Structure 1
Amino acid sequence: MPETQLVAWTGSIVVVAWTIIATAILLMDSIGSGNFRAQAQRDQMVYEHRLNALSAERDARADEAMAAQERFSSALDQISIMQSELLNTEDKRRELETGLEVVQTTLRNTMRQREDARDQLAELAADGADPAAVTAISEEANGTVELLASALAQTSEERDLIAEDAQFAIERASEIELELRLLHDKNDEIFRQLEEAMMVSVEPLDDMFRAAGMNPDTLLAQVRRGYSGQGGPLTPLSFSTRGGAPDPDASRANDILGSLDRINLYRIAAERAPFDIPIKDSFRFTSGFGQRWGRLHAGTDFAGPVGTPIYATADGVVTFAGWSSGYGRLVKIQHEFGIETRYAHQSRLRVSVGQRVSRGERIGDMGNSGRSTGSHLHYEVRVGGQPVNPMIYIRAGQDVF
């Protein structure tokens, strides 16, 4: 009896200890999974906040650039009007100067003629001529002189007024030229900030796709063919150059719009290329891509408990969902750009052939089916049918997202 009780007590203690240990393990896994999910959600919120801030900054700077360009165009119109008025004023001033010289010459000649007439009148008076005739000749000469003097004074006043108007126009033109220089400097600062923001935003995306072995220009051309709509805020700007050379500010603005378009196309491409990680819960890497035991291990293995959720790493269409020899329960997803992802050794499949899935959508549960030594996910990325290292895509996406 004591031995039986001892065995019973020992068994009870073992069961209780195993229960405690199993509960602790499950609790730790649950806490770890929760922390990982919370961290992933925080990272996603930070990324979305950064994108929203960049978008708001981009829109604000673009509005400032457009407003500045409108003010610049208005100032150019004012300068053109002032220059035209200044040219007309200068022509009129030259005409008045010429007319003034003619009037002055005529006045001098008339005054000489008047002096000659006076001399003649004196001689006629001395010779006993008719006094009434002498008076009429004298009054006619005086009237001509007064008329010319009046015309000379009026012409001089007009000349002085035009000179004042011309001086005002010159001073106003100088003020507008100063405003134009200040406006140009402000435009240049706005464009410089926008260009720096675009460079900071575009270069990491270029590097991400190059790191994944994809040519950015070819990739964007393919995306653009699928999204070939025109118009909207990214329509190229066209400012009037009055028949002259292309406006440099318009060229810079269109370059910025081109960068914005490139970012938008990258966003579309990133949703359709597998830059995400298929496991969000806690896991450990057990085997990487490369040669193993004399043959190619065509993917990356993520080990975790049976039932761990598996997620699609990009938008695509399920082309296979079932049993496949050594893969066990397998899901294949065809993405754009000739990319396919494979998710093997699952315990349960949650999608079917022909189903469209989105990035981050759950497609199955981790398991130990097929040729496997333990619960894990065997994850592959194939481009044009050839396997590539999945970690290239995962690391490239983590560097940006």
Structure 2
Amino acid sequence: MRSRLGIKIDHLLERTFPERRLFLRSDSDTRFIRLRPSTQLLAFSGATVVVAWAIIASAILLMDSIGSGNFREQAKRDQQTYLNRLNALSEERDLRTEEALAAQERFNAALRQVSVMQEQLLESETRRRELETGIEVIQATLRKTMQEREIARDEAVELQAALEDGGTALPSAGGAGDGTMDLLADALAATAAERDKVVADAQDALLRADEMRSEIRLLEEKNDRIFRQLEEAMTISVKPLDKMFSQAGLNTDSLLKTVRRGYSGQGGPMAPLSFSTRGETPSEHTLRANRLLDQMDRLNVYRIAAQKAPFALPLKSPFRYTSGFGPRWGRMHSGTDFAAPHGTPIYATADGVVTHAGWSSGYGKLVKIQHEFGIETRYAHNSKLIVKVGQRVSRGQQISAMGNTGRSTGTHLHYEVRVGGRAVNPMIYIKAANNVF
């Protein structure tokens, strides 16, 4: 027996969906289909679900289309922003390059000025020594002149006494007294003239000695100014290089010894610089000049070392960093990646010798360059190689072109720096040189 609830539901359904019959007529027969309220409800519910699904699907597609348009617009805006940023970085890099060239010109001009000042300093030192020697000679002559003056004065006194004694005895001696008196008078006059000449020479010597002392004092002041200018120039030039090599993790003392050993031959750039002291105790000026020349020698060694260590960038065209040094996806990424268009020129970052130029597994087309101080650089995924094994290259010389060979997901350069066979972060060297080159 049906429950009252079921009967009420049936009445509601019959009111909303009254029972219907569909007649299906053919040529030979007529049939009908009875549509109960429950069947109509089921059909209506199915149709409603289908329509709702169609509406929701259409809305989703419409929203996706709108969202895709927004994403495309956003992607275009991001791309334009990236291009603007890339152009700004390119302009900034060009500006830094111009500043580096200007700094190099200033550095070369400073070296030329240092050379001129060095020559002036040597000339001033030589002139000072000559003046000191001249003063010593004048002083010796003056002492000798004073002694001769005293001797002449004593002789004059003796002659005066003899003349006075002779004057009392000459009248009794007749005519012979007049000859003796004339002889003594002449000797006395000659002695007086010689004495006056000695006194005049001594006064001239004293005046000349005072002039020489004034000249030496002016020369010393000039030398002090030259020394200060040179010391300031050396401080400005050497300290940034000290900092650059230290930040790159290189031992400066060991580096200087290595470079000096490489240029120990005669006539090389590392010829010793010093003043000759002629066996005497070195003066303060000499010690100061030698300290300055040591700094100049250190600067020259740094200049040579900077060419042999990878402080330059491997690219001169606009680029973007795509991956840095360190762990990546569970593996160690032993270099830095630079992305740029296919075929972009790649340049050696320091002087060295090519030890590998060919295919190397995941590196693709690879170039290896061995530098001084146990440093090696690697340039991977190239599209074309320009150098050969055994070839000596200079910093800034093109060695290859950017590509997508080996285990690579896109056109880029994989750049490595290895010290003693161990990979180090290339950005250490690149950032260390930012304030120098």
When normalised by structure 1's length, the TM-score is 0.79
1:92 aligns with 2:148: yes
**How do residues 167-246 of structure 1 correspond to structure 2 at under 5 angstroms?**
167-231=203-267, 236-239=273-276, 241=278, 244-246=280-282
Q: Which residue of 2 aligns with 1:357?
A: 393
1:323 aligns with 2:345: no
Q: Which residue of 2 aligns with 1:123?
A: none
Q: Which residue of 2 aligns with 1:313?
A: 349
Determine if contact 1:36/1:280 at 8 Å carries over to the other structure: no
CA shift in 2, pair 1:240/1:105, >3 Å: farther
Amino acid across the alignment from 1:197: A
1:399 aligns with 2:435: yes
Identity of paired residues, percent? 52
2:157 to 98, 101, 118: 101
Determine if contact 1:350/1:363 at 8 Å carries over to the other structure: yes
**How do residues 130-145 of structure 1 correspond to structure 2 at under 5 angstroms?**
137-141=173-177, 143-145=179-181
Q: Which residue of 1 aligns with 2:327?
A: 291
Unpaired segments ≥5 residues, structure 2: 1-71
User: How many residues align structurally?
Assistant: 361
Q: Which residue of 1 aligns with 2:101?
A: 45
Larger Rg: 2
Residue 359 of structure 2 aligns to a residue in which SS? strand
Distance 1:387 1:228 in 2: 31
The worse-fitting range, judged by mean Cα deviation, of 255-264 and 139-148 is 139-148
**How do residues 330-349 of structure 1 correspond to structure 2 at under 5 angstroms?**
330-349=366-385
Q: Which has the higher contact order (CA 8 A, sep 6+)?
A: 1
Distance 1:296 1:397 in 2: 25
Cα displacement (A) at 1:185: 1.0
Determine if contact 2:86/2:319 at 8 Å carries over to the other structure: no
Amino acid across the alignment from 2:198: I
Distance 1:33 1:361 in 2: 23
Q: Which residue of 2 aligns with 1:82?
A: 138
Q: Which residue of 2 aligns with 1:282?
A: 318
Cα displacement (A) at 1:383: 0.6
Determine if contact 1:308/1:365 at 8 Å carries over to the other structure: yes
Distance 2:268 2:251 in 1: 27
CA shift in 2, pair 1:147/1:232, >3 Å: farther
Q: Which runs of 4+ in 1 moved over 6 A?
A: 27-34
Q: Which residue of 1 aligns with 2:403?
A: 367
Distance 1:388 1:266 in 2: 22
CA shift in 2, pair 1:30/1:365, >3 Å: farther
Q: Which residue of 2 aligns with 1:126?
A: none
Q: Which residue of 2 aligns with 1:7?
A: none
Cα displacement (A) at 1:287: 2.3
Residue 337 of structure 1 aligns to a residue in which SS? helix
Q: Which residue of 2 aligns with 1:66?
A: 122
Cα displacement (A) at 1:394: 0.6
CA shift in 2, pair 1:386/1:108, >3 Å: same
Determine if contact 2:100/2:436 at 8 Å carries over to the other structure: no
Distance 1:348 1:154 in 2: 102
Determine if contact 1:316/1:356 at 8 Å carries over to the other structure: yes
Determine if contact 2:337/2:414 at 8 Å carries over to the other structure: yes
Cα displacement (A) at 1:289: 1.9
Determine if contact 2:350/2:396 at 8 Å carries over to the other structure: yes
Cα displacement (A) at 1:303: 2.3
CA shift in 2, pair 1:97/1:324, >3 Å: same
Distance 1:321 1:200 in 2: 40
Distance 1:261 1:237 in 2: 11
Q: Which residue of 2 aligns with 1:378?
A: 414
Cα displacement (A) at 1:231: 4.7
Distance 1:38 1:294 in 2: 37
Q: Cα deviation per residue 1:96-125 (whole Å; 9 max; x = unaligned)?
A: 1222232233334444x52xx87xxxxxxx
Amino acid across the alignment from 1:318: V
Amino acid across the alignment from 1:174: D
The worse-fitting range, judged by mean Cα deviation, of 248-257 and 374-383 is 248-257
Cα displacement (A) at 1:170: 0.9
Amino acid across the alignment from 1:255: R
Cα displacement (A) at 1:140: 3.9
Amino acid across the alignment from 2:138: M
CA shift in 2, pair 1:98/1:340, >3 Å: same
CA shift in 2, pair 1:75/1:157, >3 Å: same
Distance 1:331 1:244 in 2: 57
The worse-fitting range, judged by mean Cα deviation, of 31-40 and 184-193 is 31-40
